[in-house]
Every structure is written in structure tokens, then in C-alpha cells.
């Protein structure tokens, strides 16, 4: 396993790619409303990335993926392909964006509620968000990947939810998916030791029901086998000398951190 350590120049470029990725998610939020199709959301994001940001949407044609973003609605766990499906009141949808700028990738996803989400939709989205943050808190030099996974797993299972194990976070930089794999379950003190300059995603997929999933015939879309709701949040994280830096914070989170 070869894990790339990002130089200060690489890190600067990663910050730019991460900020652009967050900007796309900030932009698209107002369009997530009842009646819009996921294909329209994809078109809006594609045009913004290409025309406004002068950047590249990484998912488009990646291993044959046909669209520029992933849209995963309700019981879709990940890799949902945008299409003619119209969003409805009460839906929850994960929008996953990856932007390439100056050869470096930024990767992030968020949950959005459509209209007024259901209580169960709000709950699973919040649990997934909180689990991601707890995982990010474990990132520091000398820590281990198992610390991240254990923190996420413990929190989710304490709330009677389950962790999807077939899909995980990943190293990222010049390459979309590189080493290491970042599992969202595990034991503390195990796995690869974290070093300054590593960059990877933390992106737990949390199910309201059982953890089992199924891949649809399109070869991409993953759903919960029991059709329970699933939620996911994702950030790209840099290991720094003293801890970590989240490279894909949206405007609201950046302002909150600055005020703190």
C-alpha cells in the first residue's frame, strides 16, 4: 500500500479544490425542492463547475459513471445516478460532489431535506452527520484509522442504527480514490497510523435498519436491502502537525468556526 503524503504546495491545491466542492454544495441547496428532478440538479451542478469554476466534475465518465454528481434518495445508500425522478415532500437526498482543479480533487457530500422531511429522515441525517464529525475528531498524527471507524460505529450503533461496511472513505489527491481505505467501523489503536500530510475522506453511510445493501443492475446504485432510510455525509480531511483540517467546509461552517 502506497499512501501519498501531500507537500505544502499540494495541500494548497487541495484547499482550493475542497473549497470549490463546498461552494457547489452551498449553491445547489436552494434548488433542492419538491418537483425538481435529480437530472436537473446534476445539470445545474455540472454547469456551475464547468462554466463558473472552470473546473472538472470528477464523477463524469469515471469508470463509466454517466453523470457529474451522485444523488441518493431515501433508501439509496450511495452512487445514485441522477435521472427523471422528481423529488417529493419528505424525501431526503444525499448530493455527492467531487471537483478537480489544477489536477487535485475535493470530495464532499451532504444530506438535504425536501420540503419538510419526516421525523425519521431528520433523525437518520443528523445521526450520520454527528457520526462523521466524531470520526473527524479522531484525526491527528499518531492516531490510527481504527480510531475513526470505532468512534463512528460506536455512536451509530448506540442510536440503534447500522454501518454500511461494503463502502468506505478513501485517500484522495491527484487521484480520485487512492490508499488508504477509511473504514467506518473498527477497533481503536488498529489500522494505519496517521501522518501529517495525509488526505482522505470520511463518509459514513448509516442505515436506519439493517446494514445489508444491494447493488442495482445499473452497476452503480446501492440500496438498503430492507429499504430502510440511509444517510451519508462526507468531508475531505488533511492530517496536520497538530491535528486536522477539514478542506471541504461550506460557508456556514467556515463562519461558525471563525466565530469560535
pLDDT digits (tens, 9 = 90+) for 7-38: 999 999 999 999 999 999 999 999 999 999 99
Alpha-carbon gap, residue 142 to 198, rounded angstroms: 12
Task: With beta carbons less than 8 A apart as the criterion, state whether 64 and 53 touch.
Answer: no
Q: Within 10 Å of residue 23's Cβ, how many Cβ atoms?
A: 21
Residues 6+ apart with CB under 8 A from 39: 67, 82, 83, 84
Cell of 138: 479522531
Alpha-carbon gap, residue 108 to 207, rounded angstroms: 19
List the domain boundaries for the chain: 8-259
Distance from first CA to last CA of the chain, Å, rounded?
Answer: 38
Q: pLDDT of 98-126, one tens digit each?
A: 999 999 999 999 999 999 889 999 999 99
Alpha-carbon gap, residue 152 to 130, rounded angstroms: 9
Is the pTM higher than 0.85? The answer reads yes
Alpha-carbon gap, residue 238 to 11, rounded angstroms: 8
Class of domain 8-259: alpha beta
Q: pLDDT of 161-217, one tens digit each?
A: 999 999 999 999 999 999 999 999 999 999 999 999 999 999 999 999 999 999 999
Query: Residues, the chain, total?
Result: 260
Amino acid at each position: 500500500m502506497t499512501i501519498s503524503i501531500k507537500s505544502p504546495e499540494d495541500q494548497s491545491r487541495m484547499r482550493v479544490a475542497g473549497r470549490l466542492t463546498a461552494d457547489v454544495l452551498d449553491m445547489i441547496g436552494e434548488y433542492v425542492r419538491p418537483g425538481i428532478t435529480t437530472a436537473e440538479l446534476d445539470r445545474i451542478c455540472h454547469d456551475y463547475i464547468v462554466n463558473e469554476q472552470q473546473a472538472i466534475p470528477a464523477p463524469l465518465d469515471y469508470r463509466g459513471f454517466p453523470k457529474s454528481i451522485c444523488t441518493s434518495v431515501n433508501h439509496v445508500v450511495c452512487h445514485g445516478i441522477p435521472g427523471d425522478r422528481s423529488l417529493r415532500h419528505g424525501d431526503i437526498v444525499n448530493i455527492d460532489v467531487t471537483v478537480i482543479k489544477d489536477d487535485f480533487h475535493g470530495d464532499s457530500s451532504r444530506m438535504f431535506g425536501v420540503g419538510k422531511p419526516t421525523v425519521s429522515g431528520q433523525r437518520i441525517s443528523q445521526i450520520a452527520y454527528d457520526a462523521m464529525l466524531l470520526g473527524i475528531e479522531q484525526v491527528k498524527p499518531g492516531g490510527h484509522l481504527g480510531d475513526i471507524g470505532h468512534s463512528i460505529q460506536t455512536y451509530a450503533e448506540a442510536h440503534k442504527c447500522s454501518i454500511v461496511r461494503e463502502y468506505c472513505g478513501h485517500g484522495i489527491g491527484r487521484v480520485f480514490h487512492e490508499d488508504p481505505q477509511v473504514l467506518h467501523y473498527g477497533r481503536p489503536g488498529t489500522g494505519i497510523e496517521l501522518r501529517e500530510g495525509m488526505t482522505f475522506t470520511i463518509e459514513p453511510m448509516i442505515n436506519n435498519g439493517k446494514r445489508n445493501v444491494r447493488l442495482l443492475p445499473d452497476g452503480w446504485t446501492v440500496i438498503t436491502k430492507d429499504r430502510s432510510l440511509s444517510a451519508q455525509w462526507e468531508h475531505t480531511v488533511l492530517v496536520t502537525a497538530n491535528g486536522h483540517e477539514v478542506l471541504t467546509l461550506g460557508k456556514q461552517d467556515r463562519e461558525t468556526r471563525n466565530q469560535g
